[in-house]
Amino acid sequence: MRKKKINVAVTGLNNIDSPGPGIPVIRALKESKVFDVRIVGLSYEALEPGIYMHELVDKTYQIPLPSAGKASLMERLQYIHSVEKIDVIIPNFDAELFNFITLSDKLKKELNINVFVPTLAQFEDRHKANLSAYGKKHKIKVPYGKVIFSAASIPSLVSEFTYPMVVKGKFYDAYIAYNQEQAHTYFNKISAKWGLPIIIQEFVTGQEVNVTALGDGKGNTIGAVPMRKQYITDKGKAWSGISIEDENLMAMTKQLIKSTKWKGGMELEIIKTVKGDYYLLEINPRFPAWVYLAVGCGQNHPDALVQLALGKPVKPFKKYDIGKMFIRYSYDMIVSLKEFETISTLGEL
């Protein structure tokens, strides 16, 4: 059967030491059995490696940073679409998701571009500060947490928490406090950097496991592959990981996708305690950078996402290979100055 030609635009081309998911997603799409995919890269900086990886990325356009606003992004996408006729966009950065989510209807209506991303409610609900309520609502165990606005609330925390406890920022940063003094210090440290509120969380120990998954927006889990990191870099990113077998983990993932009717790719960060309890720590509302492991295990999630985006019915994957490993490596490309000049001055390459 001849494969259908489509154009997919992908962000997250920063395939550097702590990589974005763009290049792994593109590799997955290039292996699609259904589509003959032409890749349009969308980049924010002239040094994103994907721009120069011509065997994977057919053409790249610079797009405005999320902080420039939706109107700027829309205008740029209109231009790119006028040249490329894009069928699907896969955004891969957390920071850009708000704009793509809120633009998705407009992109479909005005340009017939399909974006298969979580709804705004799904995106907002899973924010860290809401995690306790989120767990309750979707019947998923999460570490007990409380949002505080003032360091004056710290002494009274002992009625609900025991030390050590985790002190977290709204967006980033987390520290383990072993006593009140430390809790104070971290409260001040994080609030000075990220503002209020601060999240106090029960300290849960155990083995961290991750799942990359895809929901069809109707409650069905199209695919899910769990992975344990075998080694991490000094930045805390996966250096290598291995696919594992875990029925409970799969059941939890399916329950979450069913309850939230999750639409799009996701990564779950979960702690498995010694007692065998699973606690959800975080949901990333997009594919992780290690998503290609799922392809290696027989589940091509990005390919399935594109099919869903184009309104095609997709049958859930039934199995995946267990014990498959990924090992990340870096690679120095040789790039001509002319190419750098072109992307820098013209905004496309």
Partner 1 sequence: MSTKKLQYERPIIQRLNTGVMNKFGTKTEYKPVTHIDGNSVKELLAKYGSPLFVISEQTIRDTYQSANRAFKNRYPKVQFAWSYKTNYMNAVCNVFHQLGSWAEVVSGFEYHKALQNGVPGSKIIFNGPDKSEEDLTLAIKNDSLLHIDHLDELYMIMEIANNSKKRPRVAIRVNMDTGIYPMWDRFGFNYENGQAWDAINKIMLNDKMDLVGLHSHIGTFMLAPSAYGIAAAKLSDLAMAVKKKFKKNIQYIDMGGGFASKNTLKGSYLQGVDTSPTFDQFAEAITTSILNAGFTETELPLLILETGRALIDDAGYLLGSVISNKRLADGRRATIMDFGVNILFTSFWYDHKISPAQEFGQHTEDSVLYGPLCMNIDVIRENITLPPLMRNDNVVVHSVGAYNMTQWMQFIALRPAIVLIDTNETAHLIRNRETLNSIQSDEVMPKYLKTFKL
Partner 2 sequence: MKIKKNIALSESGFVFDPSTGDSFTTNPIGLEIITMLKEGKSRGEIKSAITKKYNVDGATFEKDSYDFINMLDKHNLTESYEKEKN
Q: Which residues of the chain form contacts with partner 2 (CB under 8 A)?
A: 337, 340-342, 344-346
Q: How far is the CB of 100 from partner 1 (least distance, A)?
A: 11
Q: How far is the CB of 65 from partner 1 (least distance, A)?
A: 5
Residue 347 partner contact from partner 1, partner 2, none using kind-dependent CB cut-offs of 5 to 8 Å: partner 1
Residue 66 partner contact from partner 1, partner 2, none using kind-dependent CB cut-offs of 5 to 8 Å: partner 1
Kindly tell me which of 173 and 339 has the beta carbon lying closer to partner 2. 339
The backbone torsions φ and ψ at residue 175, rounded to the nearest 5 degrees and listed phi first, read -130, 155
- Tell me the three state secondary structure of residue 201: strand
Q: For 307-343, give one letter per residue: b (16+ CB within 10 A) or e.
A: bbbbeeebeebeebeeebebebeeeeeeeeeeeeebb
342 with 52: CB under 8 angstroms? no
Picking from 10, 12, 19, 61, the residue whose alpha carbon sits closest to that of residue 37 is: 10
Picking from 283, 263, 266, 285, the residue whose alpha carbon sits closest to that of residue 218 is: 263
Q: How far is the CB of 69 from partner 1 (least distance, A)?
A: 3
Kindly tell me which of 133 and 335 has the beta carbon lying closer to partner 2. 335
Kindly tell me which of 17 and 341 has the beta carbon lying closer to partner 2. 341
Residue 69 partner contact from partner 1, partner 2, none using kind-dependent CB cut-offs of 5 to 8 Å: partner 1
The residue behind tokens 């356009």 is 61
Q: Exposed/middle/buried for 163, CB within 10 Å: 0-12, 13-18, 19+?
A: middle
Cis peptide before 64 (omega within 30 of 0): no
Kindly tell me which of 246 and 348 has the beta carbon lying closer to partner 1. 348
Kindly tell me which of 148 and 225 has the beta carbon lying closer to partner 1. 148
Residue 337 partner contact from partner 2, partner 1, none using kind-dependent CB cut-offs of 5 to 8 Å: partner 2
Contact residues for 153 (Cβ-Cβ < 8 A; gap 6+) = none
Residues found near partner 1 in the complex (CB under 8 A): 44-47, 61-73, 75-76, 79, 95, 98-99, 102, 149, 195-197, 340, 344, 347-348
Residue 79 partner contact from partner 1, partner 2, none using kind-dependent CB cut-offs of 5 to 8 Å: partner 1
Kindly tell me which of 219 and 347 has the beta carbon lying closer to partner 2. 347
Residue 197 partner contact from partner 2, partner 1, none using kind-dependent CB cut-offs of 5 to 8 Å: partner 1
